[in-house]
């Protein structure tokens, strides 16, 4: 009960502290009204020690004791000012986030800028319960901080709330602020560890050759990959060697065999997420084999092609299946 109340109070304070409804438009400037300061445990112990010194000086009428106490108190007050100034007016901008597969970790890049002449030292950034990272920002300079969080399911993953804090220079007080940059990461479905073979069908067709020699001109052998069609295996070459690896015949020409990765070709006894995982595995296998492949999903049709753009487009379609706009 106490933990739930504490969590509710903390979230209520964070909503008030953000001042705006997340996600926040860029640039995010940590103004004076957004930076909060409280003593650390070391700071509380420091204040307690000052109280003990003051009582001793007053009890024994020690002028040097009073001087020491006021000197240390002044040091503490100056520390509060420097810790606050180390964080205030830092500017945060959303950076980049590469798509990743579900089950891995999404890495969010945020750009930190320092518009002032003095450097910002020992700034710590963290998301929720993840391990913090520490950065320094030079005068009139910027730096990129990368924070990673678990990517548990496919689709768009908004960047969680970011906490930025500092206890520099003496660790007596903590200055901190919150930010929610407008940054999203695309999470692809996790490829199936075990999947049916690629769905070779009568629709598979050979493309034409760029050099006019035809796609059936033999050009060599390479190691066999799981996505290679069985009729391209060099069975005669394999038969001539004992316990040798499977080899696949290579052909000259522009286009390899085309293949359709079709939702309708999947087994009926699987759910949507399993089907998307199998399609993701097929895309990776077809791409690794250099095949020209197309994708058919309910409401989505991707024309046959190959290359990084085709791979990214197919995985994006899987990630956003039934999630709205593609």
The parent domain of residue 312 ranges over 217-319
Token pair in block for residue 310: 């085709």
Taking alpha carbons only, the member of 273, 298, 302 closest to residue 287 is 302
Token pair in block for residue 22: 């997340």
In this prediction, residue 209 has a pLDDT band, given cuts at 50, 70 and 90, of very low
| Contact predicate 105/151, CB 8 Å | yes
Query: Are residues 177 and 284 located together in one domain of the fold?
Result: no
Query: Are residues 40 and 164 located together in one domain of the fold?
Result: yes
Query: Domain holding 135: CATH number?
Result: 2.60.40.10
Q: Among residues 137, 170, 188, which one ends one of the domains?
A: 188
| pTM recorded for the entire structure | 0.78
Token pair in block for residue 13: 């304070």
- What does the mean pLDDT of the chain come to? 84
Query: Are residues 9 and 156 located together in one domain of the fold?
Result: yes
- Who contacts 144 (Cβ-Cβ below 8 Å, separation ≥6)? 95, 109, 110, 111, 112
CA-CA distances (angstroms) from residue 308 to 129, 250, 281, 287? 35, 21, 15, 8
Query: Are residues 148 and 231 located together in one domain of the fold?
Result: no
CA-CA distances (angstroms) from residue 170 to 122, 134, 174, 265? 11, 16, 10, 65
Across 81-104, average pLDDT: 95
Task: Give the per-residue pLDDT at 268.
Answer: 79
Query: Are residues 106 and 228 located together in one domain of the fold?
Result: no
25 lies in some domain? yes
- Specify the number of domains making up the chain: 2
- 56-79 exposure pattern, b = at least 16 Cβ within 10 A, e = fewer: ebeeeeeeebeebbeebeeebeeb
| Contact predicate 59/66, CB 8 Å | no
Query: Are residues 176 and 126 located together in one domain of the fold?
Result: yes
Q: Among residues 150, 168, 188, which one ends one of the domains?
A: 188
Query: Are residues 184 and 239 located together in one domain of the fold?
Result: no
Task: Give the per-residue pLDDT at 255.
Answer: 46
55 lies in some domain? yes
Q: Could you report the per-residue pLDDT of 278-318, keeping only the tens digit for each?
A: 999 999 988 888 888 999 998 889 998 889 999 999 999 99
Task: Give the per-residue pLDDT at 213.
Answer: 36
Query: Are residues 36 and 153 located together in one domain of the fold?
Result: yes
In this prediction, residue 231 has a pLDDT band, given cuts at 50, 70 and 90, of low
Query: Are residues 183 and 276 located together in one domain of the fold?
Result: no
């Amino acid at each position: 009960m106490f933990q739930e109340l504490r969590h509710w109070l903390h979230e209520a304070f964070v909503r008030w502290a953000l001042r705006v409804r997340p996600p926040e438009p860029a640039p995010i400037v940590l103004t004076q009204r957004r930076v909060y300061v409280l003593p650390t445990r070391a700071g509380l112990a420091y204040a307690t020690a000052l109280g003990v010194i003051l009582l001793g000086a007053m009890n024994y009428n020690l002028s040097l004791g009073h001087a020491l106490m006021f000197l240390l108190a002044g040091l503490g007050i100056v520390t509060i000012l420097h810790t606050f100034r180390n964080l205030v007016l830092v500017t945060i901008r959303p950076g980049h986030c590469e798509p990743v597969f579900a089950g891995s970790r999404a890495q969010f890049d945020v750009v930190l800028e320092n518009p002032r002449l003095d450097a910002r030292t020992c700034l710590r950034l963290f998301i929720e319960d993840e391990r913090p990272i520490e950065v320094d920002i030079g005068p009139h300079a910027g730096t990129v901080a990368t924070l990673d969080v678990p990517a548990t399911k496919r689709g768009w993953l908004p960047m969680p709330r970011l906490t930025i804090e500092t206890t520099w220079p003496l660790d007596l007080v903590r200055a901190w602020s919150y930010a929610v940059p407008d940054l999203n990461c695309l999470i692809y479905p996790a490829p199936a560890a075990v999947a049916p073979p690629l769905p070779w069908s009568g629709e598979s067709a050979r493309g034409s050759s760029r050099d006019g020699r035809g796609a059936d001109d033999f050009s060599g052998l390479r190691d066999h990959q799981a996505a290679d069609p069985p009729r391209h295996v060099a069975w005669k070459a394999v038969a001539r060697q004992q316990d040798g690896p499977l080899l696949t015949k290579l052909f000259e020409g522009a286009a390899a065999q085309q293949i359709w990765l079709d939702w309708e070709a999947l087994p009926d006894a699987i759910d949507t997420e399993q089907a998307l995982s199998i399609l993701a595995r097929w895309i990776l296998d077809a791409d690794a084999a250099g095949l020209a492949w197309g994708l058919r999903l309910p409401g989505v049709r991707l024309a046959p092609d190959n290359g990084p753009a085709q791979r990214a487009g197919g995985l994006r379609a899987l990630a956003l299946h039934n999630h709205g706009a593609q």
